[in-house]
C-alpha cells in the first residue's frame, strides 16, 4: 500500500533536518507507513515551509501529515506517544472502538500527555477499515498532527484489490490558529472567498433581466 499526497507536500523531514519544505506545486510527497503492532510516535514542533512561507507545524516522526499506521484486525496494538514538546498533547483514534481510557480525549477519561513525557496506548483492534487519528489538544491538529489508520481485515478482503492507496487531504493556513479562531468568532465568514453571489448567479441564468 502506498500513501501519497499529490499536490500538497514534497518531503518529510530528513533526520537532523530542522526545516521541511512543502511545495504545493510538487506532486511527489510520500507519507511514511508504519506497520505492525508496536508503534513509536514522536511529537514535535518544527518550522515548515509551505509555498515559500515558513510557519510552525506539529509533526509526528517529522512527517506532515503524520505517518499512516497500518495494523491488522484482531491484533492488540501498543502505541507509545513521546511528547517532545513543551506543551501537553493527546491522540484521538477517530472511529476506533477502544476502551474509554484509551480514547485519548483530554478531560474525559485521561488528562492528556504532559510536556516531555510518554503515554502508552494499548488496545485490541475489533474492526477493519480506513480511519484517521489526530491531536485533541490546542491547535495541534490544525498545524498538521493528523494521519491515516488502515486496519486490514482478519480474514480475506471482501473485494480483493491489487493496491491500496490512502490520500489525506487537509487545509493549511499560515495564520496562527488561535488568531484565526478569534477572527472567525468576530466574523463567521472571515477568509471565506466562496460565498454565493446572488447577483452573479442570477446573471448566469438570465443576463438580460438584470
For binding to Cu ion (CB under 5 A), which residues are involved? 92, 94
**Which residue is nearest to Cu ion, using beta carbons?**
94
Nearer to Cu ion, 82 or 92 (CB): 92
203 grid coordinates: 446573471
> Residue 100 gets which letter from DSSP?
G
Smallest distance, Cu ion to C-beta of residue 125, A: 17
Nearer to Cu ion, 9 or 98 (CB): 98
Nearer to Cu ion, 29 or 67 (CB): 67
Of 67, 7, 69, 66, which Cα lies nearest the Cα of 32? 67
Burial class (CB in 10 A: 0-12, 13-18, 19+), 66: buried
Smallest distance, Cu ion to C-beta of residue 137, A: 12
Smallest distance, Cu ion to C-beta of residue 57, A: 19
135 grid coordinates: 491531536
Nearer to Cu ion, 20 or 41 (CB): 41
SS3 for 42? strand
SS3 for 149? strand
Smallest distance, Cu ion to C-beta of residue 7, A: 25
Smallest distance, Cu ion to C-beta of residue 92, A: 4
Nearer to Cu ion, 22 or 41 (CB): 41
Nearer to Cu ion, 171 or 189 (CB): 171
Could you tell me how many residues make up the chain? 210
SS3 content of the chain, % helix, strand, coil (to 5): 10, 35, 55
CA 159 to chain centre: 27
Beta strand 118-124 pairing with 68-72: unpaired
Smallest distance, Cu ion to C-beta of residue 149, A: 11
Amino acid at each position: 500500500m502506498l500513501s501519497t499526497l499529490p499536490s500538497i507536500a514534497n518531503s518529510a523531514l530528513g533526520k537532523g533536518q530542522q526545516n521541511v519544505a512543502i511545495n504545493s506545486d510538487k506532486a511527489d510527497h510520500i507519507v511514511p507507513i508504519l506497520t505492525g503492532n508496536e508503534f513509536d510516535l514522536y511529537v514535535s514542533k518544527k518550522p515548515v515551509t509551505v509555498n515559500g512561507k515558513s510557519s510552525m507545524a506539529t509533526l509526528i516522526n517529522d512527517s506532515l501529515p503524520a505517518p499512516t499506521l497500518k495494523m491488522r484486525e484482531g491484533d492488540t496494538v501498543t502505541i507509545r506517544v513521546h511528547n517532545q514538546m513543551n506543551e501537553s498533547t493527546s491522540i484521538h483514534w477517530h472511529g476506533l472502538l477502544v476502551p474509554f481510557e484509551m480514547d485519548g480525549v483530554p478531560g474525559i477519561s485521561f488528562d492528556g500527555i504532559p510536556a516531555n513525557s510518554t503515554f502508552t496506548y494499548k488496545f485490541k483492534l475489533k474492526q477493519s477499515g480506513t480511519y484517521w487519528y489526530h491531536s485533541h489538544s490546542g491547535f495541534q491538529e490544525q498545524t498538521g498532527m493528523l494521519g491515516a489508520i488502515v486496519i486490514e481485515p482478519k480474514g480475506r478482503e471482501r473485494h480483493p484489490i491489487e493496491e491500496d492507496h490512502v490520500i489525506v487531504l487537509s487545509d493549511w493556513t499560515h495564520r496562527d490558529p488561535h488568531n484565526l479562531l478569534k477572527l472567525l468568532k468576530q466574523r463567521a465568514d472571515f477568509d471565506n472567498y466562496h460565498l454565493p453571489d446572488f447577483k452573479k448567479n442570477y446573471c448566469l441564468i438570465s443576463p438580460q433581466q438584470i
